[in-house]
Amino acid sequence: MRPRHASGNVPRAREFEAYVAGAGGRLLHTATLLTAEARDDNPRARRLLTLALAHTYASWDRLRGEDPYDHTRQYLATRFARGAWHRHGGLLRSRPHPGSPLARLTPRERLVLVLRLHEGVAEEQTAALLGLPAERVRTVFHRAMATVLRPPPAPAAPAPGGVGRVPS
């Protein structure tokens, strides 16, 4: 690379660094919610965010007036959905952290719930982003909310008199 081109990338790099400094924490939290990993142990979320930020950086000059946060979030969501689909043979299942409140949701349910509640994306925009009808997004959202709001099943209590005792 010629020195002339290298110095031209300095403002671009500084703009991107400022963007990451401002939006990186929220985007990491979004990625962590999507992967349903623990907040302090989230390697999949970090990989997902790194890919999304790399894509945003590669597109930085072409964004011209677009919101880079929306661009990064869109890539984050579509990459998560595509990865969950391909990794699990179309079943959209993953291995979330068992202590996560979103662990009982499928990746699609987590994606819709995170986009709608955490990110505040409108139903129609979520549907367009995911390539689903708005009615399907509404159904997935309501099913996810019902699952999250319903308490998890309690472990079965041992029978009175101890485990393994045969009554006389």
Mean pLDDT by runs of 10 across the 168 residues of the chain is 57 91 96 91 93 94 90 94 60 55 88 95 95 96 93 67 56
According to the model, what pLDDT value does residue 135 have?
Answer: 97
According to the model, what pLDDT value does residue 161 have?
Answer: 60
Q: What's the DSSP call for residue 160?
A: T
Q: How far apart are CA 120 and CA 122, in angstroms?
A: 6
Indicate the pTM of the whole model.
Answer: 0.77
Pair 112, 67: CB distance under 8 Å? no
According to the model, what pLDDT value does residue 82 have?
Answer: 85
Residues 6+ apart with CB under 8 A from 69: 19, 23, 27
Pair 76, 34: CB distance under 8 Å? yes
Q: How far apart are CA 121 and CA 45, in angstroms?
A: 20
Q: What's the DSSP call for residue 99?
A: T
